Amino acid sequence: MARFDDLREARAAIQAVEHAGVDAGEIELLGRGADAARHPARPGPADRQLVGYLLPRLARGFLLGLGGGLVAGAALGAIVATASGWNVSAAALATGMVGGGLLGATLGVFLAFERGVGLSEEWTVTFEDASSGPVWVAVHTQSSRDRALARAALARMGPLELRGADASTDRRSRDRGKRRRSDDD
pLDDT at 36: 76
Q: Is 97 inside a domain boundary?
A: yes
Q: What is the DSSP letter of 85?
A: T
* Residues in contact with 62: Cβ distance below 8 Å, sequence separation at least 6, in sequence order: 105, 108, 109, 112
36 and 60 co-located in one domain: no
Whether 111 is covered by a domain: the verdict is yes
Same domain, 62 and 33: no
pLDDT number for residue 119? 66
Verify that 70 and 92 share a domain, yes or no.
yes
The predicted model scores a pTM of: 0.62
Q: How does pLDDT run across 69-103, given as a tens digit for each residue? A: 999 988 888 887 777 766 667 777 788 889 999 99
Predicted confidence at residue 132, as pLDDT, reads 67
If asked whether residues 83 and 64 sit together in one domain, one would say yes
Q: Is residue 23 part of a domain?
A: yes
For residue 72, the model assigns a pLDDT of: 92
Assess if residue 25 is contained within a domain.
yes
What is the total residue count of the chain?
185
User: Does any domain span residue 28?
Assistant: yes
HSE value, Cβ hemisphere, 13 Å, CA-based, for 28: 9
Q: What's the alpha-carbon Rg for the chain, to the nearest Å?
A: 22
DSSP 135-171: EEEEE--S-HHHHHHHHHHHHHT--SEEE-TT--EEE
| Separation between Cα atoms, residue 145 and residue 142, nearest integer Å | 9
58 and 95 both lie in a single domain:
yes
**Residue at 185 is within a domain:** no
Confidence of residue 176 (pLDDT cuts 50, 70, 90): very low
Of the residues 116, 139, 156, which one is the last residue of a structural domain? 116
Q: Does 59 lie in the same domain as 38?
A: no
Instruction: Check: CB of residue 45 under 8 Å from CB of residue 129.
Output: yes
Q: What is the mean pLDDT of residues 140-169?
A: 83
Element (H, E) at 30: strand 27-30
Please tell me the predicted confidence (pLDDT) of residue 58. Answer: 92
Q: Sign of dihedral through CA atoms 100, 104, 105, 106?
A: positive
Residues 110 and 80 in one domain: yes
pLDDT tens digits, 2-61:
999 888 888 889 989 988 988 888 898 888 878 777 776 666 666 677 788 888 989 999
N-terminal to C-terminal alpha carbon distance within the chain: 15
> What residues make up the domain containing 60?
54-116
Total count of domains within the chain? 2
Does the residue 123 lie in any domain?
Answer: no
pLDDT digits (tens, 9 = 90+) for 94-151: 888 899 999 999 999 999 888 777 767 677 777 776 666 788 899 988 888 999 999 9
Residue 181: pLDDT band (50, 70, 90) is very low
Ramachandran category for residue 105: left, alpha or beta (phi over 0 → left; psi -120 to 50 → alpha): alpha
Residue 35 forms part of a structural domain: yes
**pLDDT averaged over every residue in the chain:** 79
My answer on whether 64 and 111 are in the same domain is yes
Q: 118 or 158, which is more confident?
A: 158
